Amino acid sequence: MSAALNYAGQDGAAATEILTFRLGSNAFAMEVRHVREVLDYKPIAPVAGAPSNLIGMIDVRGTGVPVVDLKRKLGMHGLDMGPTPDTRIIVLEFLIAMRPHTVAIVADAVHEVSDVADQKIEQPPQFGESWKADYMQGLGRRGEEFMTLLDIGALFADRDGAVFEF
């Protein structure tokens, strides 16, 4: 039996809202406090010599924002369908080592903002070395499907939690 996760935000206050989205056929969520905005898909300019997880850059209100391939970062290879009418770009803002960062990810679809109190969030399963639960805050459900709640800070920090990594 798994225990429900005692869900609290970075500042210790109860986090109340999550944004649910899809990568391939998989459902994911993140805390809304990290979401600056959700944009319709637009062309992404490649950057020469960029790390493999960096798709390129987009202009967001006059500022260049790096776009990370979240599927590749999460090891979800072979799921690139290309943009569809449902594809969105999610612009994130978060702190790592007290430094603000802005980065965007591409989602195959963005579903909704929901109250985390409406979700039963459980601890990530422990399956040993082959399971990468480092980026997970927990597992929840969206309807009948499982949804991975991502830890945005851990997703973009190095192992020491100090350096921004793509």
Query: What is the CATH number for 144?
Result: 2.40.50.180
| Strand ranges (E), the chain | 17-23, 26-31, 35-40, 54-60, 63-68, 88-96, 99-107, 109-115, 136-142, 145-150
The answer to whether the CB of 20 falls within 8 A of the CB of 27 is yes
Q: Is position 26 within any domain?
A: yes
pLDDT of 82 over the 60 cut: yes
What's the pLDDT at 128? Answer: 56
Q: Mean of the pLDDT values across residues 64-71?
A: 94
Q: Is position 109 within any domain?
A: yes
Domain count for the chain: 1
pLDDT of 14 over the 80 cut: no
Domain with 128, as residue range(s), is: 17-156
What one-character DSSP code corresponds to residue 56?
A: E
Q: Mean of the pLDDT values across residues 90-119?
A: 88
Q: Is position 114 within any domain?
A: yes
Q: Is position 75 within any domain?
A: yes
Q: Mean of the pLDDT values across residues 9-35?
A: 80
For the sheet containing 145-150, what is the strand order?
109-115, 17-23, 26-31, 145-150, 136-142
Residue 60 structure tokens: 């967001």
User: Is the entire prediction scored with pTM above 0.85?
Assistant: no
Report the C-alpha gap between 78 and 72 in whole angstroms: 9
Q: Is position 10 within any domain?
A: no
Q: Is position 118 within any domain?
A: yes
Most confident segment among 41-50, 91-100, 138-147: 41-50
Q: Is position 145 within any domain?
A: yes
Q: Is position 130 within any domain?
A: yes
